[in-house]
Structure 1
Amino acid sequence: MLIPFLFWSIINYLCSLYAVVFLDITDSALKSFLVRVVNAGWVDTFSPNHLFKIFLPVLMTVAPPMSLKLILDIIRASTRTLRLERDNLNLEVDFLRSQLNPHFLFNTLNNIYSLSIRNDSLASDLIMHLSEMMRYTLYDSNTEMVPLHLEAEFLKNYIELESVRYGKNASIRFDCDTEKMDGYQIAPLLMFPFVENAFKYSHSTTTDKCWIYASMDVSDNKLKFEISNSKGELPEGKKIAGGIGLSNTRKRLILLYPDQHILFIENNPEYYKVVLTLTLN
């Protein structure tokens, strides 16, 4: 702030000196003022009294560009913050894509091995489901947006594989018509944490027979995803780690679909329900 005032004083003195020495000034009042400025010298030019006199005109001159710079700095800072949040979420998605629950893979491979020993034809179907899932997570989902029908197929394959592990001890259903989803795009693995949590919590309780019902439907450029699962008391001494996937999904929805989504979660002792309504671009 001090530099503009000093610069203004120097320019004022030099212009006055130039006018007195090189210009023919006919206005006596103006000439008298300029002579007084020149005779006062550099000492008066940098005096606090002179700086106070020029405070208002200098402020009126430097305020607009300084205000503009302040606004630009705020915009840059906000943009940088949003970029960091997006990069952080991308890292979280990459982690989600790469981890695909090792425990789930271990159980799936064990199931396939058991079925192959019995020469069960279901083993080949499970291998195909697992192959499709791995291809999606490794290749198809490495973009900001993916075809909605591929996301639905991924969730369907995951649910099919988990259904085999649960067997007759669970009632599992996934209603989805992928033909209605052609032409739509969605952020990858956006709904996977909800599905993963449904299997995790429904299976880890003392309920004798658990259930999971899920559905996806598209109508008028809006996607409605719904999933609910049974709940019960946890076995004594057992705790389930979780919450990170849901928190990350909330952040992704706010960042990627601002004012374009409605997330409803109902949590009570008997069941857990998630309803996500999304406006598709």
Structure 2
Amino acid sequence: MKLDKYAKIELTFFIVYFYVFKLLSNLEYNFWERKLKGFSGIDIEFSFLYGTSGLLAFIVFYQIIKFYLVNRKFFRLIACLVLFLVAYALYQKAVNYTYSQLPFLSDEFRRLATNAYRAKSIGYSFAYMFKEFLAVGCLAFVIHSMKQDEKVRQLKEQQLMSELTYLKSQLQPHFFFNTLNNIYSLALKQSEDTAPLVAKLADMMRYILYKTDRPLVLLKDEIAFVKNYVEVEQIRYRSNINISLDIQGIDEHTTIAPLLLLPFIENAFKHGVEEEVTTGYITIKICKIANELILEVENSIAQKEHTGEGVGLVNVKKRLALLYPDKYTLTVQSDELAFYVNLSIQL
């Protein structure tokens, strides 16, 4: 049976606490009090046998602690502690009697077990038991806290994935709606650019349908998608709109969350030059240096003023905050002539 990480922690604790500590205690006692180095046979025998009896008893106690302490049933826990102390005294008597009757044990150990069995004391001190209760109780509390933290982490991850899926579902229809509008306007004019535009849209749809369902995609594929988008827009806009795309440093292996760059570029077209009646420009620079990806977008401001942000830009800001917390910087600003976006992501 494969143990989970919590069972491994519990097993390690009990082995160290009931075996290793007893041996180390005997080693220290021999060194300081008896002026001896190492262990004697009786030390090993004593540590192993009484460590095992203590281990068995406190595993039972540990189950009590886990059930009552983590469920905050304190009065029942106290009652169980009293019953455990009574039962432990009887258990110790039975253990000592059993050890005293086993012929394969050493004579000295059986003599010690016989004396402990015949003693009129309860077999333990309350200070010692309090120490044992505290140690085992701390273990139960730590394991409970770790399990609670893991549940919270899993819930946060599920919430994150749900929100990302929702944001991506908003982004894709928004993007395709705008692109289909472009195709429709060209079709009405019976433009020869309609067919190439449909082909590039098919490539983009293939990318979204078959690759963007993954948490990460290759950066080169994301860049190819962006290039297709820009070429689609170049077909649509007039020659007096200057569109520049500069891409540098893209390698074969770097990955990125899908559809992060498009909304900034799409925003430049939709809210920059779409309403331009004279001249306009869009400059896009994408550069990867070491582990940093830099996107710079600059576009002229159209005469028709727009207020607020599009759905795509709002969503991508949320996705950046969820996917790359403390690993990105985003600057969005404008003046009378142009709109500027500077995005830097540590991949």
TM-score range, shorter chain: 0.7 to 0.9
Q: What do the CA deviations read for 1:179-198 (whole angstroms, capped 9, x no partner)?
A: x4333322211111101111
Q: What do the CA deviations read for 1:235-262 (whole angstroms, capped 9, x no partner)?
A: 5xxx555354334323433443345433
CA distance in 2, matches of 1:255, 1:18: 56
Q: What do the CA deviations read for 1:39-65 (whole angstroms, capped 9, x no partner)?
A: xxxxxxxxxxxxxxx988745542331
Count matched residues: 252
Indicate the RMSD between aligned Cα atoms, in angstroms: 3.5
- Identify the structure with bigger relative contact order (alpha carbons < 8 Å, sequence gap 6+): 1
Larger Rg: 2
Query: Per-residue deviation at 1:231?
Result: 2.2
Mapping 1:206-245, distance limit 5 Å: 208-231=278-301, 234-235=304-305, 240=307, 242=309, 244-245=311-312
Given the alignment, which residue of 121, 125, 139 partners 2:196? 125
Amino acid at match of 1:12: L
Structure 1 residue 89 corresponds to structure 2 residue 164 = yes
1:86–1:255: 8 Å Cα contact kept in structure 2? no
CA distance in 2, matches of 1:115, 1:100: 23
Match of 2:319 in 1: 252
Q: Which runs of 5+ in 1 are unaligned?
A: 35-53
Match of 1:154 in 2: 225
Match of 1:51 in 2: none
CA distance in 2, matches of 1:19, 1:144: 58
Q: Secondary structure at the match of 1:167?
A: coil
CA distance in 1, matches of 2:211, 2:132: 62
TM-score, normalised via structure 2 length: 0.60
Q: Identify which range, 203-212 or 79-88, moves more after superposition.
A: 203-212
CA distance in 1, matches of 2:89, 2:245: 86
Amino acid at match of 1:141: T
Query: Per-residue deviation at 1:125?
Result: 2.8
Structure 1 residue 11 corresponds to structure 2 residue 64 = no
Query: Per-residue deviation at 1:81?
Result: 0.8
Change (3 A) 1:217 1:136: same
Change (3 A) 1:205 1:128: closer
Amino acid at match of 2:252: D
Change (3 A) 1:234 1:113: closer
Q: Which runs of 5+ in 2 are unaligned?
A: 1-68, 98-115
Change (3 A) 1:181 1:172: same
Query: Per-residue deviation at 1:105?
Result: 0.9
Change (3 A) 1:268 1:82: farther
Mapping 1:50-129, distance limit 5 Å: 58-59=133-134, 61-116=136-191, 120=192, 122-129=193-200
CA distance in 2, matches of 1:192, 1:174: 13
Query: Per-residue deviation at 1:221?
Result: 4.1
1:97–1:138: 8 Å Cα contact kept in structure 2? no
Query: Per-residue deviation at 1:265?
Result: 2.5
- Percent identity at matched positions? 26
TM-score, normalised via structure 1 length: 0.72
Query: Per-residue deviation at 1:114?
Result: 2.1
Mapping 1:169-208, distance limit 5 Å: 169-176=240-247, 180-203=250-273, 208=278
Amino acid at match of 1:137: I
Q: What do the CA deviations read for 1:205-235 (whole angstroms, capped 9, x no partner)?
A: 6774332111222333432221111225645
Match of 1:142 in 2: 213
Structure 1 residue 277 corresponds to structure 2 residue 344 = yes
Change (3 A) 1:181 1:63: closer
